[in-house]
A and B are shown apart, each in its own frame.
Chain A
Amino acid sequence: MAKCLLEFRSGTLLCSFTECETPPVNAIPFLLYDERVEKWRAQASDYAALMRALYADHVEVTDEAKNYQTLDLSLKEPISPMPHQQKALDSWKKSTPPGRGVVVMPTGSGKTFLAVLAIASVKRSALVVVPTIDLVHQWASVLERFFSVPVGMLGGGSKEIREITVSTYDSAVIMMEHIGNKFGIVVFDECHHLPGEVNRTAAAMCLAPYRLGLSATPERDDGGEAVLYSLVGPKVCEIFIDELEGNVLAPYITRRIEVPLLPDEEEEYLAARSLYTGFIRANRINFSAKDGWSQFIILCARRPNGREVMKAYLKQRSIARCGRAKLQVLWDILMSHRGDRTIIFTADNDTAYTIGETFCLPVITHKTKAAERKEFLDRFRDGTYTVIVTSKVLNEGVDVPEAAVGIVVSGSGSTREHVQRLGRILRSAKGKQAELFELISEGTGEYYTSERRRSNRAYRRKG
């Protein structure tokens, strides 16, 4: 009988076969001969498939790769899943292969609880991978509450690995070649981050047979969702915002407000815009092309008036994103929602800080230090602060259950970003009516940007 010694090495699997000249036929698709070490090597993420293949080939396997435990896990809080959560869990368990797949659910619909159910059902050492430090703490506290076990954390200075561990994507990428065999189930929260060239190694170097991806918007502009489905499993369940509105999620309305520029700003905008668009036309730059933007930058550096054009581009963008008229409308909305928990979203840090300086408001960007960020969020959650300004860092993940009003002062054309921003204010609360305002400068390119980002089903019947 053929024998195989399976080892976990540097985020990969090394296989040594004895009593057979070549690897058995079913295992071959997963193996490559590595002349550097004179052994067969496989991707760690193929562990489950490889084991099945070796089993099918009647190979006697000495498995020194797997280093995770079967846990005696049970939920300490007896909570029944909501129907949509039960449906998602069942779909994941019955997927092909079982226990691997991506669940698409809106923010606020209980993705975390679904993950808790999945971990409880497989009862294996578990790793949850999340995009930010805030989420590491948030997930760790939820998992500790449900399972009554200490939870390890990786990232933001913490380096503690336990049977249930939560890690940032960054730390997972760095650590996975050492810890990728310690978990039987891995959960990727906000899993649309996973297909990135670097992040994907966190999934590839982990041998966990059970995998769950969670996202409200898994599709990517670069088509990276194919990588996601190959590393985590296929999309097994999709639930839309409007299916849960008024029941699981708060009822909501979206309002787009077109704000006319002030006369002097309009004049300045038109002059800058004309210089910039003239340059684009003259040089036949196509921003729809993949390299359109880099072509614009290169030509700005090379052409004699390039620097002036770049300044004009920045000027017209800054007026459209945050002109004085927009600030006034923003203030009017704040005045009409005094006391309501409100998040103001911007496309860039400069605009966020301009609003923060102008109205003395707390701003959270990637530049905000951890302690102050925590203080801002704690005070926002407990209602001490009612308004918070952010650029993109609160688009996803951070739990701000009480927010009822969102004001998009500026944003990209990304549908995902817009759906995520809507999701921030939809967590259900008694009597809550969520409102998402979108401010766009009238007669500027912002209109088209807004049209692009509103193409999601969640906006089609609203506003």
Chain B
Amino acid sequence: MLTRDLLRFRNLSGYARPAFLEETDRKTLDLAAELLETWRVGVESFRKETEDAVNALSARWTDMKLPKGLSKVIADASRFTGDDSASYPEDRAKLFLASAELLKSSGPLAPETFRQTVFQRAGVMFRENPIYADLPDYEKIVSVPEWTPQELITRYNCVLAQSLLLYSSSLEITAEEPDPAKLRRFFKQLRFLRLLATVSMDQDRQGNAKRIKVYIDGPAAILENGTKYGLQLASFFPAFLQLQSWKMSSVIKPGTHELKFVLDSKSNLRGHFGNLSAYIPEEIKMFVSHFRQTSDHWKIVPDAPPFLNLGGQMFLFPDLTFSDGEKTIHLELFHKWHEGQLKERLEFLNSHPETPILIGIDRSLFPKKEGGDSVIKENPLYGEKIFLFSGYPGVERVLKILNGQQQSTDLF
């Protein structure tokens, strides 16, 4: 992140306008290239030497925050090590013992004589280096990221926006995203960062999910409007850069005044999580195809809402949604990597059995030697709403459960 002194933004009528960089601007690309080169040349040298070189380079720019900010982004992704080639602490200890001895002795001493005598008595040599040459300034650079100048600029733009969000207390995001995998990632990140969301969804005339609106802050934010969650909100920022279309609005206080901070997908900001577009496993493609061939009564709903808000900060992302024209039932599958969420979901379903969801659980979640899957089989909803599968559920199994839903619903 950029420190406050490196933030580049303007206050335009109460709005913070970050000075994002053009990824194609020749002058900026040249500066980025020069800075990356300066850092790369400095590998295995003292950090201070490279920072001095960056300072000299920065002095040529009217806006020194720009080169220094770019340099900070490089430094944050670089690795450093302390200077362990010299035994500075040991040598210093000898030096200070000698200096302490001499200070306790009697007789007048001129400072220069004192220094020479101390060095002689200590028998240590710091040569041309100062005696504190192992301070962080003298750390050695181990590695520098292998970015292109354009990648550095992309990162800088993202970091600049994140750094402004450090001074925010909440975020409001409106987004359109047809891909449930991306939304799942979005909410997963929200939860990972221990943020709370108030979610609402707009629908089009046909009742299809159109746009989600998410207000994000931390648990204590309603009690005190501080920036405690600023770091979490800033860390969350790259999570919504992946969405197809988004608009973010926040209030930040980077100085004495509050400013509105608004960004949208047209800002062309990109995160560095890589492409998170939905990967559809081969098994699910085969399941869908087989299901369509097998079932006349139940249909797979292609444009179902990407998630269900179960309340209490619990969101369900159905893997598949089925409809028989009257009822809509969602299927959520739990694999080995979903262990943590399963317990919570089972608790929810047991207390809200009317919820139209089915839970399929991969047997690999239960090692045989530890009692196996008996804990699931003992659940009162097992066979009715909960079922087990190995690897991936079969179409017949799912249809049987779906039909069971129909029968039990018909009873009422």
Contacts and interface: CB of A to CB of B under 8 A. Distances in A.
Interface string A258-279: 0000000000000000000000
A328 B313 contact: no
Contacts of A377: none
Interface in B143-166: none
A363 B226 CA distance: 37
B228 A198 contact: yes
Contact of A385 (B100, B131, B222, B228): B100
Contacts of B118: 360
B223 A367 contact: no
B59 A307 contact: yes
A359 B198 contact: no
Interface string A364-379: 0001010110011001
A226 interface: no
Interface stretch (A18-26, A33-41, A396-404, A422-430): A33-41
* B99, B105, B313 pick with most chain A CB within 10 angstroms: B99
B130 interface: yes
A387 B103 contact: yes
Interface residues of A, number: 52
Interface in A106-126: none
Interface stretch (B35-43, B108-116, B288-296, B325-333): B108-116
B220 A43 contact: yes
Contacts of B196: 36-37
B131 to A, nearest CB: 6
Given A359-B99, A384-B100, A12 B111 contact: no
B125 to A, nearest CB: 13
A32 B222 contact: yes
Interface string B184-225: 000000000010111000000000000000000011101110
A367 B256 contact: no
Interface in A270-298: 290-291, 294
Interface in B59-97: 59, 62-64, 89, 92-93, 95-97
B104 A357 contact: no
Contacts of B132: 353, 356-357, 363
A221 B136 CA distance: 31
A79 interface: no
B367 interface: no
B220 A386 contact: no
A327 B112 CA distance: 12
Given A10-B194, A37-B312, A201-B228, A338 B106 contact: yes
Contacts of B59: 307
A334 B111 CA distance: 11
Interface string B115-126: 100110000000
Contacts, number: 110
A375 B136 CA distance: 19
Contacts of B223: 12, 32, 41-43, 204
A55 interface: no
Contacts of A41: 219, 222-223
A335 B108 contact: yes
Contacts of A97: none
B220 A10 contact: yes
B135 interface: yes
B33 to A, nearest CB: 24
Given A197-B226, A363-B132, A11 B220 contact: yes
Interface in A320-375: 327-328, 331, 334-335, 338-339, 353, 356-363, 367, 369, 371-372, 375
9 contacts: A11-B220, A201-B226, A205-B220, A301-B63, A301-B64, A328-B111, A361-B96, A362-B92, A375-B89
Given A36-B198, A200-B226, 6 more contacts: A10-B219, A12-B220, A32-B222, A42-B223, A360-B131, A367-B136
Interface of B: 59, 62-64, 89, 92-93, 95-100, 103-106, 108-109, 111, 114-115, 118-119, 130-132, 135-136, 194, 196-198, 218-220, 222-224, 226-228, 255-256, 311-313
Interface of A: 9-12, 32, 34-38, 41-43, 177, 197-198, 200-201, 204-205, 290-291, 294, 301, 307, 327-328, 331, 334-335, 338-339, 353, 356-363, 367, 369, 371-372, 375-376, 379, 384-387
